[in-house]
Amino acid sequence: MLKSNRVSLRRRVNVTDIFKPGEIESLIDQGAIFYLSHSGGKDSQAMYALLKEIIPTDQLVVVHSNLGEVEWPGVIEHIKSTTSHQVNVVQATKTFLQMVEERGMWPSAAYRQCTSDLKRGPIFKFIRNDLKQHGATIAINCMGLRAQESSARAKKVPFSYNKQESVNGRVVRHVYNWLPIFYFSTEEVFQTISDAGQKPFWAYQRNERLSCVFCIMGCVNDLRHGAEQRPELFKRYVELEKKIGHTMFMKGKEPISLEDHIGLTIS
């Protein structure tokens, strides 16, 4: 069974560019737990469709970092409907808007506190505790990042040792970061979802990507769609910009309001 799945994985993921022959099987044999970070987006969905075929069921764990009110409605339900594993939902103690108001600043492409505090932090806390419950010492942190998304992501290493989360003392924990669909094109992502007999999250009917409803990395089209779908949340973002005196976006070197950036005003 594993052999046939391995052939499928090599064909779809170019696994030979990431692992040495037999390395993925060795990790499985060593009892590694594969933690799949699922945002509800297309890349996470495609990654899950692939990994569930090659990772033993009891060694694959799905975890979602809930962003609360700034998340697209129905994300958790979508993840549950397209997975056959339990979906472990984690959440930071503060909300995104609380974080922004306390800092007096919005996150930026260079400083994504939203990712570190609201996503990565809670997920790794879960991994540490869950790995202990499994009685295992090897964790593979699986993320749906792809080289095609940006020049910065193209420079990432698709499989690496996470020194920050690993410990080698009285308690032993080895953590690796794996980007299983690193070499996928956008077309291959959607094809993988289709091959699994599924459809991507409903917002992709108009969105190019899926994250927060109003993401600092979102294009104008996605942000405008968010404002149309969540006018009450759009209003809160606009009001918070005015309250803290800091905008989400810049036009050249000048700050630009969210309203002006997407060409919509709150009613």
CA distance 179 to 144: 6
Assign 3-state DSSP to the chain and report helix, strand, coil percentages, each to 5: 50, 15, 35
* Per-residue pLDDT, 2: 41
Q: How far apart are CA 175 and CA 160, in angstroms?
A: 9
Three-point CA angle 62, 121, 80, nearest 5°: 25
Q: List phi, psi (to 5°) of 258.
A: -60, -40
| Identity of the amino acid at 77 | E
Q: What is the dihedral of CA 92, 95, 101, 103, to 10 degrees?
A: 20
Contact 83, 57 (CB under 8 A): no
Please state, in angstroms and rounded to a whole number, the distance separating the CA atoms of residues 94 and 99.
7
Structure tokens at 44: 């996470």
Is-contact 166 160, C-beta < 8 A?
no
Q: What is the pLDDT of residue 7?
A: 39
Domain ranges of the chain: 2-97+112-203, 206-260
Q: Which numeric CATH code is attached to 2-97+112-203? A: 3.40.50.620
Give the pLDDT means over successive 10-residue stretches in the chain (267 positions). Answer: 41 58 89 98 96 95 96 97 98 94 90 85 97 97 93 91 93 94 94 96 95 93 97 97 96 95 90
Q: What is the pLDDT of residue 267?
A: 72
CB 50 within 8 A of CB 9: yes
* H-assigned helices in the chain: 2-13, 23-29, 42-54, 75-81, 96-103, 113, 121-134, 151-154, 186-195, 220-229, 231-244, 258-262
pLDDT of residue 176: 96
Cβ–Cβ under 8 Å, residues 95 and 103: no
Question: In Å, how far are 4, 6, 117, 130 from 54, measured between CA atoms?
Answer: 9, 7, 31, 21
Q: What is the pLDDT of residue 15?
A: 56
What is the rounded CA–CA span in Å between residue 44 and residue 112?
A: 20
d(CA 39, CA 48): 11
- The answer to whether 156 and 182 are in contact (CB under 8 A) is yes
Closest CA to 267 of 222, 214, 228: 228
Any bridge partners for residue 177, and if so which? 141, 160
Rounded distance between C-alpha atoms, residue 266 and residue 180, angstroms: 41
Interhelix angle 42-54/2-13, rounded to 10 degrees, is: 150
